[in-house]
Structure 1
Amino acid sequence: MVISTSINDQRQNTDDVSQEMQLLTRNLVLNLTKHATKLAPVVSVTPNRNYCFKPTQRLLWFPAFPLENTVNKFVNTTKPLLTDQEFAETQKASEAFVKGCGRELQGLLERAADNSSNWLAERWLKTAYLQYRDPVVVYSSPGMTFPHKIFCSDEEFTEYTAKVIFGMLKYKQSIDENKVPVVKMGDNELDNSQFYRVFGTCRIPRQGEDDLKFCPKSKHVVVICRNHFYKLPVYSKEGKILHPEVIRCQLLSIWNGEKAAGCPIGILTSDHRDKWAKSYGLLKAIGNNKCSLEVIQSSMFTVSLDDSVPVDHPETANEVVSEQLIHGGGSKQNSGNRWFDKTIQVIVNRNGVNGFCYEHSPAEGQPIALMDDFVVDTLNKEDSFYDGSATDNYDGYEKINIETNPVVKKMVEMSGKNIDELAQNLHLKVLHYKGFGKEFLKAQKLSPDSFCQMAMQYAFYKHYKTPAAQYESAHLRIYHQGRTETIRSCSNESVAFAKAMVEKSDDATRVKLLREAVQGHQKYAKMAMQGQGVDRHLLGLKLMALENNLEVPAFFKSPGFVKSSQFRMSTSQVASVNHAFMCYGPLVDNGYGCCYNPRKNDMFFAISSWKSNSETDSDKFHDSLKSALDDMKEVLSKAGEKPKAKL
């Protein structure tokens, strides 16, 4: 979940904590000192890993929390998902784990924690991303929308894109000049290093495990137009950002240049990582391609100038933009007009669809969401905003030539078939709910994030008559190099609430159970943001077994572990004041992805599922979620309760 603000905003909001959550967290965060008393300065490191401009920031080390506490919390999270027999088996396996091999693994983890400011950081990067072999497209990389535009001419199209590029460069300038506010949770600073890793970063395909390339001092972007690649320097020789008019003229020249589409080399980046690694090795060995590929990889970001795709009806516009940002629509549309390995891809379609696609491995969503709001805010600035930008003494764009041969072309063809199958299988549906937003929920003294989580729990239960293991991301930025922990949103309280709604209990009971479910979610979210969830700790213990050639304990095959880790609902809040939302694919075959943006008086939910799975249907879940939100509003309104307790 992400709270998005302007980069110059001094309100000190955290990226995963709404204001009411901050008030709750402020007191509990003091408990961290019992387990995490070390402080680690953020140090300057090699370009091969974490790049950061703030060597003076001091942050908590990430500890290995007590084993028994974690396992007890884990057992409690499994109960609503299990039969009585399965729960008994899980309890037995958990007790044996704590008393037996779990202790040895905990000792190994504690030693790892003593020798590193964050024992999880590198392991998470490798396990969750670089060693993950499915395509980054859909499976990993989200899309983030800008508000839809209408371009009446090519000039308007390129002018808008130029201003987006300029806004991106100003955002990077703010980062480079250390103007990203250092936010605190309680008395502790939150790690800002992710902000410094999104520009100039590219994932490099390798067999078995990818690599990351960091080029933070890059001075160019790569424009992709009709599958052709162009290097576009965006600074003058004196180091000033180019004026948008200078950028616009070059973009228009590129757009009006080669009309015939080139070989869609970029489509190779959409494939299975090992297949792409093989293609990459062959591609790099041809002619001067090694240098050409390095130009793409070392760019600050890419800019895709996309040919128009049809928007048949205004009601389907949100689905069209989701498809274009996540996968490009397939080989017959714009999937070849991409380089999916780049951390940031700016995408602007001639039909007005525009936004980001971002490769997830270097950072979480907050830098991207902040960038989205920052750039949109700059688009309507007065001309004085561009004062001081360069209008002369700059290098113009040049084409990046990438040679092919029959073998590479065959691989492009195969990758095209794979992305077509993937794009066709993904079922996207966006709910723009206009019944209420954060203002109504705040008046009810309910956390908007926790309320949305309970709405999705209820919607799933209403449709399937069974609860879903539900994943929500919580940031761990209170720790040096912290990434995320899992908020397990399915609880005994959430199931009790969902059952009461389905069984139409009296209004007072339903409101009472809703509040208890919201409070239960908030309690777990607070623990997760302190690193005291269960999923990362348990992952660490499993990795200790694997790294030390020990047998993976039977605990990890228990019904509770298996079922509670099968997240049929993969969710995240990515907040923006704009008409915008983030979208991504489902985490499991029979599940849903659901990213949401609760705004002042409305909400967006971007829902995804697989068409090939008979258990899921994004259209039906869309209707179930809308109905759930209507039901919850009706119950709250009828109850007319004015609670005294503050959250």
Structure 2
Amino acid sequence: MIFKGMLDRQEIIPDSSRSARWQRHWILDSLYGITRVPRKPHDHLNIPKRTSRHAIILARGHIYSLDILAPDHSPLPAKQIEANLWSIVNHVTLHPAAIPIGSLTGLDRDRWTDAREHLLSLDSTVNRDSLSVIEDGLFALCLDDSTRPAGLQGHIRTASTNYDGHNRWFDKSFSFIVENNSRASVLGEHSPCDALIAAIITDFVLAEGVGPGLCDPTVKAASHDSENLGWKKLEWVTDQRISQFIQDSKSTVEAISKDSDCDLLIFDKYGTDYIKRSVRHSPDAYIQMAIQLAWFRQVGTVVSTYETGLTRLFKHGRTETIRTLSSKSYAWVKAMDSEEDCHLIYNLFIQAISAHNSYTKKASLGRAFDRHFLGLRLQHRPPEDGTLPELFTDPVFAESSEWQLSTSGISAGERFIGTGFGCFGRGYGINYLVAPSRITFGIETKHSDPRTSASQFSEHLSQALIDIRILCERATGKRPYSSPSPDSMRSEFSKL
């Protein structure tokens, strides 16, 4: 909430690119409190009232509203928030688990719309008021009464869903998830903003650390008898049909969770320092070429590849598609395991890097074409507009937009220990965090796809990064590079 206060006071300095143009942070204003609400034929985003000053707390199926801002919208004292959280926890322990209404958000959007409309028909006052409080909440805090697997792979696979989707409200723009052993993660809803935005806020929270009064052993829970607790339990009127909707959602989410094949690759042999200082290439293009090589070695062919490109130079700009696969990248991956001279292979690598950098620049300036085609297709309204133009029904066009490699980088990389997102039914979803001495990859695919394996792709990706380094050093004649330790880096920087 300190970050939100700084944002409201316009104290957050926008990012700037290497071209010195300001990149707009307007979307940060829209992150807090945004909720995706199901409707037919399409959902809408609920924008909360400016007076909203509460968060949503979920625990054992119960849902609470907790004030975190004072009436003047300044953050409440940490001790007061902590005392009220303890009071909520005590309330949960004194009552049996509640019907997990939040599980409904795990249904497909049409069925969730039906369930929501039925919920409102049962008691338009109680249920509507509870939904309104949730949808206006600044964010969600999910307190899980469980501990997931110790390994990060198991944690990443189950943290977002809690196995079957209970104790979640998937439609909130972002949710903090805390296990009963204090391990935490962040879950985002992609419609209102992109992952980088939630990462900016989370990185700020981690950088600020724990302030005075937080986790204070002397803090006691607020009295249950107090007339002004600062929190309120949300009530619901349900029936057997709602219970069936919830059961259906749990089954669906559990099946999705079980089918998810995740792996976390923490590549610590080098990071962006090596790529920028010794090889002198764009870290993002370098990493994208490693992903191309890993796929080629595992599958034996190339495939259309999506990378998120930012268009934040423009007001209301979000993203554009960077198409990583090119004739240059294809020529290079074919040559990498050939008997060709290393200098020739290195030149092909440089050409692939240059092609990627060029496309990235075009995308950031709004000069790519995928969002344009998407807009045209979405504007088409059958039957009044007739059949779709031939372009959109062409099999080649469809294949070129089937992203079996869906990738995205997040700039923040030092304070996060993991990352990831679910992928298209075939292929991989790859999210990566870059840091001076390491690169972290969250890799997700499906057990149901016999061609893919997250652990095998992780091995191919790690080897690709090693082989690219060897190629660069052999071709340029530079000595082998080992990533410096944090102590040696500090010593080096102190000499500057």
The whole-number CA distance in structure 1 between the counterparts of 2:213 and 2:107 is: 43
Provide the secondary structure at the position in 1 that maps to 2:264: strand
Quick one: which amino acid aligns to residue 368 of structure 1?
A
TM-score, L = length of structure 1:
0.68
Contact 2:299–2:451 (8 Å) recurs in 1: no
1:514 Cα offset (Å): 1.6
Q: Does 1:346 align with 2:176?
A: yes
The whole-number CA distance in structure 2 between the counterparts of 1:325 and 1:296 is: 21
Provide the secondary structure at the position in 2 that maps to 1:347: strand
The whole-number CA distance in structure 1 between the counterparts of 2:411 and 2:16 is: 19
CA RMSD of aligned residues (A): 2.4
Contact 1:236–1:395 (8 Å) recurs in 2: no
Provide the secondary structure at the position in 2 that maps to 1:533: coil
Residue of structure 2 equivalent to 1:291: 129
Counterpart pick for 1:513 among 342, 345, 348: 348
Number of residue pairs matched by the alignment: 461
1:411 Cα offset (Å): 1.2
Segment of structure 1 superposing worse, 465-474 or 575-584: 575-584
Provide the secondary structure at the position in 2 that maps to 1:278: helix
Segment of structure 1 superposing worse, 427-436 or 508-517: 508-517
Residue of structure 2 equivalent to 1:228: 62
Counterpart pick for 1:321 among 155, 173, 178: 155
Residue of structure 2 equivalent to 1:203: 36
Q: Provide closer, same or farther for how the CA distance between residues 412 and 467 of structure 1 changes in structure 2, counting only shifts above 3 A.
A: same
TM-score, L = length of structure 2:
0.88
The 5 Å alignment of 1:156-175 reads: 169-175=1-7
The whole-number CA distance in structure 1 between the counterparts of 2:267 and 2:72 is: 49
Q: Does 1:300 align with 2:134?
A: no
State the identity %.
Answer: 28
Provide the secondary structure at the position in 1 that maps to 2:169: coil
Q: Provide closer, same or farther for how the CA distance between residues 236 and 582 of structure 1 changes in structure 2, counting only shifts above 3 A.
A: same
Q: Provide closer, same or farther for how the CA distance between residues 238 and 184 of structure 1 changes in structure 2, counting only shifts above 3 A.
A: closer
Residue of structure 1 equivalent to 2:441: 605
The whole-number CA distance in structure 2 between the counterparts of 1:601 and 1:205 is: 43
The whole-number CA distance in structure 2 between the counterparts of 1:190 and 1:200 is: 23
Residue of structure 2 equivalent to 1:454: 289
Q: Provide closer, same or farther for how the CA distance between residues 382 and 614 of structure 1 changes in structure 2, counting only shifts above 3 A.
A: same
Provide the secondary structure at the position in 1 that maps to 2:469: helix
The whole-number CA distance in structure 2 between the counterparts of 1:433 and 1:368 is: 24
Q: Provide closer, same or farther for how the CA distance between residues 598 and 183 of structure 1 changes in structure 2, counting only shifts above 3 A.
A: closer
Q: Does 1:356 align with 2:189?
A: no
Residue of structure 2 equivalent to 1:557: 393
The whole-number CA distance in structure 2 between the counterparts of 1:470 and 1:395 is: 52
Counterpart pick for 1:584 among 417, 421, 441: 421
Provide the secondary structure at the position in 2 that maps to 1:524: helix
Quick one: which amino acid aligns to residue 201 of structure 1?
I
Residue of structure 2 equivalent to 1:621: 457
1:568 Cα offset (Å): 0.8
Residue of structure 2 equivalent to 1:87: none
Residue of structure 2 equivalent to 1:527: 362
Q: Does 1:634 align with 2:467?
A: no
Which consecutive residues of structure 1, in runs of 5 or more, have no partner in the other structure? 1-168, 643-647
Q: Provide closer, same or farther for how the CA distance between residues 222 and 542 of structure 1 changes in structure 2, counting only shifts above 3 A.
A: closer
Q: Deviations over 1:58-112 (max 9, x none)?
A: xxxxxxxxxxxxxxxxxxxxxxxxxxxxxxxxxxxxxxxxxxxxxxxxxxxxxxx
Contact 1:450–1:522 (8 Å) recurs in 2: yes
Contact 1:237–1:393 (8 Å) recurs in 2: no
Q: Deviations over 1:3-47 (max 9, x none)?
A: xxxxxxxxxxxxxxxxxxxxxxxxxxxxxxxxxxxxxxxxxxxxx
Counterpart pick for 1:427 among 235, 251, 261: 261
The whole-number CA distance in structure 2 between the counterparts of 1:592 and 1:326 is: 18
Provide the secondary structure at the position in 1 that maps to 2:122: coil
Provide the secondary structure at the position in 2 that maps to 1:580: coil
Residue of structure 1 equivalent to 2:10: 178
Residue of structure 2 equivalent to 1:491: 326
Q: Deviations over 1:589-608 (max 9, x none)?
A: 22110000111111111111
Provide the secondary structure at the position in 1 that maps to 2:92: coil
Contact 1:434–1:601 (8 Å) recurs in 2: yes
Q: Provide closer, same or farther for how the CA distance between residues 393 and 516 of structure 1 changes in structure 2, counting only shifts above 3 A.
A: farther
Which consecutive residues of structure 2, in runs of 5 or more, have no partner in the other structure? 217-221, 479-496
1:393 Cα offset (Å): 12
1:236 Cα offset (Å): 3.0
Contact 2:53–2:70 (8 Å) recurs in 1: no
Quick one: which amino acid aligns to residue 370 of structure 1?
I
Q: Deviations over 1:104-148 (max 9, x none)?
A: xxxxxxxxxxxxxxxxxxxxxxxxxxxxxxxxxxxxxxxxxxxxx
Residue of structure 2 equivalent to 1:371: 201
Higher relative contact order (CA 8 A, sep 6+): 1
1:439 Cα offset (Å): 0.7
Provide the secondary structure at the position in 2 that maps to 1:439: helix
1:187 Cα offset (Å): 6.8
Provide the secondary structure at the position in 2 that maps to 1:598: strand
Segment of structure 1 superposing worse, 247-256 or 525-534: 247-256
The whole-number CA distance in structure 1 between the counterparts of 2:177 and 2:285 is: 32
Contact 1:574–1:582 (8 Å) recurs in 2: no
Counterpart pick for 1:213 among 42, 46, 62: 46
Quick one: which amino acid aligns to residue 472 of structure 1?
E
1:538 Cα offset (Å): 2.2
Q: Deviations over 1:307-349 (max 9, x none)?
A: 122425xxxx22233224432222xxxx211111111111111
Segment of structure 1 superposing worse, 236-245 or 589-598: 236-245
1:508 Cα offset (Å): 1.8
The whole-number CA distance in structure 2 between the counterparts of 1:236 and 1:540 is: 42
The whole-number CA distance in structure 1 between the counterparts of 2:251 and 2:185 is: 25
Residue of structure 2 equivalent to 1:194: 27
